[in-house]
């Protein structure tokens, strides 16, 4: 189930009175569009009636004026944006999920990845649960629903469910009366809340979404904390707080988050400036201009230029209608998008020694193409600096790094990558410099396992191989032996994950 690995954005609004919460959610999702470009969804609670719509595509395309009118007004709403990985981008995997059960209704949306997903799913299936998606969000909804049957409230059910769910999750849940936000015990994914002047409470993956709807940031939701918003105001459950080591994904600062967001008190823009300055100190070079790859390489490029004294220049014009290559589903799609995504400003680089700043080199797809574009535009030299260390490990907490075979730094040295991409020099951010991004005092509160192999939680056994048994049949997903269309080998037969799950244990 290769499409378990996802990086998404969540948004929720609670209003004391009935209002156009759908529009508020729309603008919030629009601000979070960088976190997911494959699908999106909105659920509106109108006095216990859940009006919802979700589909593949960008927020502006999915939520037409006609769809927004059908969603109508209400006092609570949830929203979600999702991006596809190497697996299928089925509409069925879109969020939020709406659940009807004997004690009422709820809707759920989350960002993250559950490391004990297979274990939980197998346990649920053996008790009769039927799954319609390949998303771990459905597993979370089952766990919470089961706990709700024996709980006095939805927040109590979530509190109990957090004892069973392991991994990364920033979760937003809506019941007929409440909006609830919860964050995993390690705090892998960001989640914050704020309030508008008219009294609406807003929950979002990033503070930039609060700004987009006129809300003022109040604070981050703590790792392990559950925050409930209802007619009585705000209350919290902290039973799971300070039970595990904090481990916010450092890649939020390097790549995922928007530069105008503030996460855990640190400006993302400032963090990237610091990374660029560190690169200038560690890898000085004689050059004429510093340029950044839009968008997340620009802030680091400004930091490099400021520290080095080399002028900063606009080196690329980005096609704003093309999504991020790193999160585009499928290698062929990524390569096609690089070709039309960037255009070089030749006046900036022609005949010059160029320092090129980018946020990361993961698969190596993009960097060689970008260097080629600069050479074709007349760059005399290209010295690349990367504001992240080399990726050497899989991520089990939601970042799209599904196989070591796709990590170029696992197969090649820095010198080899430099030569392969036709660079004059190449330098990665030193792991020791990561703590500088968020302050030395927070050095022990980040997850950098994809760089340093220090996983904050127990990870799935066999690393690149996940197994789930159905009676006498064991289905093995070997991430290094996937077919080109994302199907999986079952014995000698190739079948899709959805098709195999549909067979059930007796077929």
Q: Residues with catalytic annotation?
A: 8
Please give the full DSSP string across 97-127, using - where no structure is assigned: EEEEETTEEEEEEEEEEETTHHHHHHHHHTT
User: Token pair 């300055």 is at which residue?
Assistant: 277
| Residues 6+ away with beta carbon under 8 Å from 319 | 340, 341, 342, 343
Supply the Cα-derived Rg of the chain in whole angstroms.
23
Residue 313's CB is within 10 A of a number of other CB atoms, namely 19
Contact 202, 195 (CB under 8 A): yes
How far apart are alpha carbons 46 and 75 in whole angstroms? 6
The tokens for 117 are 């997903």
| Residues 6+ away with beta carbon under 8 Å from 434 | 250, 389, 443, 446, 448, 451
Return phi, psi of residue 154, to 5°. Answer: -70, -35
Kind plus residue range of the DSSP H or E element containing 360:
none
Cα distances (Å, whole numbers) of residue 191 to 239, 264, 505: 18, 9, 38
Cis peptide bond N-terminal to 96, omega within 30: yes
Cis peptide bond N-terminal to 295, omega within 30: yes
Residue 216's CB is within 10 A of a number of other CB atoms, namely 12
What is residue 215's DSSP assignment? E
Return phi, psi of residue 217, to 5°. Answer: -65, 130
Buried b (16+ CB within 10 A) or exposed e, 472-483: eeebebebeebe
How far apart are alpha carbons 162 and 239 in whole angstroms? 10
Residue 266's CB is within 10 A of a number of other CB atoms, namely 18
How far apart are alpha carbons 241 and 268 in whole angstroms? 25
């Amino acid at each position: 189930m290769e499409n378990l690995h996802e990086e998404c954005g969540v948004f929720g609004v609670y209003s004391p009175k009935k209002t156009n919460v759908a529009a508020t959610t729309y603008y919030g999702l629009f601000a979070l569009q960088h976190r997911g470009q494959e699908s999106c969804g909105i659920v509106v609670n109108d006095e216990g009636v859940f009006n919802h719509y979700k589909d593949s595509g960008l927020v502006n395309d999915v939520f037409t004026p006609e769809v927004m009118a059908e969603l109508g007004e209400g006092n609570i709403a949830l929203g979600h944006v999702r991006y596809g990985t190497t697996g299928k981008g089925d509409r069925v995997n879109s969020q939020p999920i709406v659940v009807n059960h004997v004690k009422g209704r709820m809707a759920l949306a989350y960002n993250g990845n559950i490391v004990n997903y297979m274990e939980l799913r197998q346990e649920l299936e053996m008790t009769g649960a039927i799954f319609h998606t390949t998303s771990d969000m459905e597993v979370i909804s089952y766990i919470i629903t089961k706990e709700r049957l024996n709980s006095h409230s939805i927040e109590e059910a979530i509190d109990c469910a957090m004892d069973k769910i392991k991994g990364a999750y920033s979760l937003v849940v809506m019941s007929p009366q409440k909006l609830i936000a919860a964050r995993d015990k390690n705090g892998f994914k960001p989640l914050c809340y704020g309030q508008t002047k008219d009294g609406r409470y807003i929950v979002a993956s990033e503070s930039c979404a609060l700004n987009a709807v006129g809300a003022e940031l109040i604070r981050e939701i703590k790792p392990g904390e559950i925050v409930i918003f209802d007619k009585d105001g705000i209350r919290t459950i902290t039973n799971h707080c300070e039970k595990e080591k904090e481990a916010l994904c450092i890649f939020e600062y390097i790549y995922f988050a928007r530069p105008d967001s503030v996460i855990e008190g640190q400006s993302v823009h400032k963090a990237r400036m610091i990374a660029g300055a560190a690169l200038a100190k560690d890898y000085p070079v004689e050059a004429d201009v510093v340029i950044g790859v839009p968008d997340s390489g620009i802030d680091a490029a400004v930091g490099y230029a400021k520290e080095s004294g080399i002028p900063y220049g606009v080196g690329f014009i980005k096609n704003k209608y093309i999504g991020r290559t790193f999160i585009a589903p499928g290698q062929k799609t990524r390569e096609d998008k690089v070709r039309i995504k960037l255009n070089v400003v030749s006046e900036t680089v022609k005949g010059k020694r160029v320092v090129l700043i980018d946020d990361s080199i993961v698969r190596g797809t993009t960097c060689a193409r970008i260097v080629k574009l600069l050479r074709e535009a007349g760059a005399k030299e290209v010295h690349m600096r990367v504001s992240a260390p080399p990726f050497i490990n899989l991520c089990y907490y939601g970042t799209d790094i599904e196989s070591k075979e796709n990590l170029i730094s696992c197969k090649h040295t820095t010198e080899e990558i430099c030569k392969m991409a036709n660079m004059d020099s190449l330098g990665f951010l030193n792991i020791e410099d990561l703590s500088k991004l968020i302050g030395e005092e927070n050095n022990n509160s980040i997850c950098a396992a994809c760089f340093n192999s220090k996983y904050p939680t127990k990870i799935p056994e066999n690393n690149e191989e996940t197994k789930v048994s159905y009676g006498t049949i064991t289905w093995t997903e070997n991430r290094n032996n996937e077919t080109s269309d994302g199907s999986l080998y079952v014995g000698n037969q190739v079948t899709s994950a959805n098709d195999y799950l549909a067979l059930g244990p007796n077929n």
